[in-house]
Chains A and B, each alone.
Chain A
Amino acid sequence: MRKAMQEAVRNVIETHEDTALLLIDIGVYPFRDLLERYPGRAKNIGIFEPGTISLAAGLSLAGIVPVVYGISPFIVQRCLEQLKLDFVYQQTGGNFITTGAAYDFSTLGYSHFCPEDAATLRLLPGMEILTPGTPQQFTALFRACWNDGRPSYLRMTDHCNQTQVDVEFGKAAVLKRGERATVIAVAEQLDATLAACKDLDVTVLYYTTLAPFDGETLRREHRGGKVFVSAPLYEGTLWPEIVQALQGESVEIGGAQVPLEILRTYGRKEEKDAALGLDAAGIRRKLQDFL
């Protein structure tokens, strides 16, 4: 996905003079040609995230579309007030591409994890939250939103799905129809979710845009009064959106999500997935209990 991101960003910088790339001291090597060719507007800014987000807002307010690239928690959490006041309040657009996902930097520990990104950013009105699960999906979503005048958070993962799904900005994809429950799969969780419920009589919706949330598709497709969220996000994330989408109906919500804990283990991401019940076996177990 990083390569697709680099390609998409490179394309935008090359073809639009009114764009700028701000690296928060990551991606410097793969973008080195861009930094050399466009030294005025493609920069490794250094390591001061809040100031960088404000600088990006200044660019945006003065007509230059900023693309910021950093690590999830250092943009979402360290810069939450900058996103809120310098982008959302000013009603100006920008792009915040991150690496790290929930705990892609598994060996680095809690400081580098961000399973709370979507739950945090959903409280910023107008903030777009994109969670592609494949390189192609990153490209499609970035193409749709990079210059739409709104702040866009693009959460990348290094653990892409093998399942290819064409996605559209702002729309859930219907991957399977069944009667007993609706399963919402998010981002890199799709492969394991499909494996977990391949012989189960459930509907599977795949979400790569979390905000604005596509309540319409959920309303239309949901079955059985049960919605199960399979997402690499802290538990409870997306539940308000589900309740809102199904207003007036009684719905039971369950899920395979990251438990609200301080994650102190290291090891590989896959080991965490297994321990937290977020691999195919864990998702299946939780889903069967739920059904």
Chain B
Amino acid sequence: MTEQARRLRKSILRTAHAGQDANLQSAFSCVEILRVLYDRILRAPGEPSCADRDRFVLSKGQATMALLALMAEKGLLPQEELASACRYGSRVSMQADRTKLPFIEVSAGSLGHGFPVAAGMAWANKIAGRGGSVYVLAGDGEMNEGTMWEAAIFAASEKLDGLTLIVDDNRSIGRSIDMGDLAAKLRAFGFHCVTQDGHDEDALERAIRTEHPGTPLAVIARTRRGFGSGTLMEDASWFHRAPSDEELAMLLEEVERYA
């Protein structure tokens, strides 16, 4: 884990503790993905005035705290505002609202919406004849939703090569249903699909930069729920739970010591 990723995970923990609500396993599994996107891939993200900016859509909304902690690192949100998480009237929450924060492209919350909306944005870019790609982060559980595959059919049919789907495949849904070979499914739907270690930033960057002329790209990022903390990786109760004072100290320590 890089030092920046470690710092970000600690920031997520403090935000979760302040808000007393969180999906920490889901937020932790996509830290490297979000960092690669915002550090190395996205052009002019979060600049609503720039029509041909790259757009990032967080379809797995339950990782919102990770995104907001990253935005605070980037200076797009005052660091101290993270401490207001989940309070009445706050801008910082479990599921971000685009009307409150200019760098949020799509308000999230219900699974199966972000990807088809992102496909519509990629189509809009094509209609407008402008540059700018659309990147969308979904979860493997979210890939259960029918609308994800509706969007996949459309994106492939329209050859939306300005669209990249990244699946944070932290195998959260394996406990309930066997999704089979996700990469093969996406290929069968017409995507160029690559699978990569979702915690290796250099490898992720290469995967996201894969050439994919004439087809949308899917990157299956193999990740672990709660990556960076032994407790979060092992204990399923952390799927939706906020840390107490003692747990915060313990989890911060685990992240600090994680190799």
**Same complex origin of A and B:** yes
Which A residues fall within an 8 A CB radius of B?
17-18, 20, 40-41, 45-46, 48, 50-52, 54-64, 66, 81-82, 85-86, 89-91
CA distance A86 to B107 in the complex (A): 8
Please report the total number of B residues contacting A with Cβ < 8 Å: 31
CA distance A90 to B207 in the complex (A): 31
Checking B107, B116, B125 against A55 with a beta-carbon cut-off of 8 angstroms, the contacting residue is B116
Determine if B121 and A90 form an interchain contact, defined as CB atoms under 8 angstroms apart: no
Chain A residues near B117 (CB-CB < 8 A): 54-55, 57-58, 61, 86
Given A81-B110, A89-B107, A58 contacting B150 (CB threshold 8 A): no
B100 to chain A minimum Cβ distance, whole angstroms, is 11
Checking B51, B107, B120 against A56 with a beta-carbon cut-off of 8 angstroms, the contacting residue is B120
Q: List 12 A-B contacts (CB under 8 A).
A: A54-B116, A58-B116, A59-B124, A61-B105, A61-B106, A61-B117, A62-B124, A63-B51, A81-B113, A82-B113, A85-B109, A91-B99
Chain B residues near A46 (CB-CB < 8 A): 153-154
Is B128 part of the contact surface with A, judged by Cβ < 8 Å?
yes
Q: Which of A46, A57, A62 has the most CB of B within 10 A?
A: A62
CA distance A48 to B148 in the complex (A): 11
Determine if A50 and B154 form an interchain contact, defined as CB atoms under 8 angstroms apart: no
CA distance A20 to B122 in the complex (A): 13
Chain B residues near A58 (CB-CB < 8 A): 116-124
Determine if B127 and A20 form an interchain contact, defined as CB atoms under 8 angstroms apart: yes
Is B98 part of the contact surface with A, judged by Cβ < 8 Å?
yes
CA distance A258 to B97 in the complex (A): 39
Chain B residues near A54 (CB-CB < 8 A): 113, 116-117, 119-120, 147, 151
Q: Indicate with 1 or 0, residue by residue over B135-164, a CB within 8 angstroms of chain A CB atoms.
A: 000000000001100110110000000000
Checking B120, B122, B126, B153 against A57 with a beta-carbon cut-off of 8 angstroms, the contacting residue is B120
CA distance A86 to B106 in the complex (A): 8
Chain B residues near A90 (CB-CB < 8 A): 98-99, 106-107
CA distance A57 to B122 in the complex (A): 12
Given A41-B127, A55-B151, A62 contacting B121 (CB threshold 8 A): yes
Is B199 part of the contact surface with A, judged by Cβ < 8 Å?
no
Determine if A50 and B124 form an interchain contact, defined as CB atoms under 8 angstroms apart: no
CA distance A40 to B143 in the complex (A): 28
CA distance A56 to B113 in the complex (A): 12
Q: Which of A46, A58, A86 has the most CB of B within 10 A?
A: A58
Checking B120, B126, B147 against A61 with a beta-carbon cut-off of 8 angstroms, the contacting residue is B120
Determine if B127 and A55 form an interchain contact, defined as CB atoms under 8 angstroms apart: no
Determine if B110 and A85 form an interchain contact, defined as CB atoms under 8 angstroms apart: yes
Checking B98, B107, B128, B150 against A51 with a beta-carbon cut-off of 8 angstroms, the contacting residue is B150
Is B55 part of the contact surface with A, judged by Cβ < 8 Å?
yes
Determine if A64 and B127 form an interchain contact, defined as CB atoms under 8 angstroms apart: yes
| A50-B147, A64-B127 given; 17 more Cβ-contact pairs under 8 Å | A20-B124, A20-B127, A40-B127, A51-B154, A54-B116, A54-B117, A55-B151, A57-B117, A57-B120, A58-B119, A58-B122, A61-B120, A62-B120, A62-B125, A63-B51, A89-B107, A90-B99
A20 to chain B minimum Cβ distance, whole angstroms, is 6
Chain A residues near B125 (CB-CB < 8 A): 62
Chain A residues near B106 (CB-CB < 8 A): 61, 90
B239 to chain A minimum Cβ distance, whole angstroms, is 22
Determine if A45 and B154 form an interchain contact, defined as CB atoms under 8 angstroms apart: yes
Chain A residues near B99 (CB-CB < 8 A): 90-91
Chain B residues near A64 (CB-CB < 8 A): 123-124, 127-128
Given A63-B128, A90-B98, A55 contacting B51 (CB threshold 8 A): no
Q: Indicate with 1 or 0, residue by residue over B149-184, a CB within 8 angstroms of chain A CB atoms.
A: 011011000000000000000000000000000000
Chain A residues near B151 (CB-CB < 8 A): 51, 54-55
Determine if A51 and B147 form an interchain contact, defined as CB atoms under 8 angstroms apart: yes
Given A55-B151, A58-B121, A91-B99, A50 contacting B146 (CB threshold 8 A): yes
CA distance A167 to B30 in the complex (A): 53
CA distance A55 to B153 in the complex (A): 12
Closest to B55 in A: A62
B191 to chain A minimum Cβ distance, whole angstroms, is 16
CA distance A91 to B104 in the complex (A): 13
Closest to A92 in B: B98
Chain B residues near A91 (CB-CB < 8 A): 99
Chain A residues near B105 (CB-CB < 8 A): 61
Chain B residues near A63 (CB-CB < 8 A): 51, 124, 128
Closest to A50 in B: B147
Given A51-B116, A54-B113, A85 contacting B121 (CB threshold 8 A): no
Determine if A86 and B113 form an interchain contact, defined as CB atoms under 8 angstroms apart: yes
Checking A59, A82, A86 against B123 with a beta-carbon cut-off of 8 angstroms, the contacting residue is A59
CA distance A17 to B126 in the complex (A): 12
Given A18-B128, A40-B127, A63-B51, A55 contacting B113 (CB threshold 8 A): no
CA distance A17 to B127 in the complex (A): 8
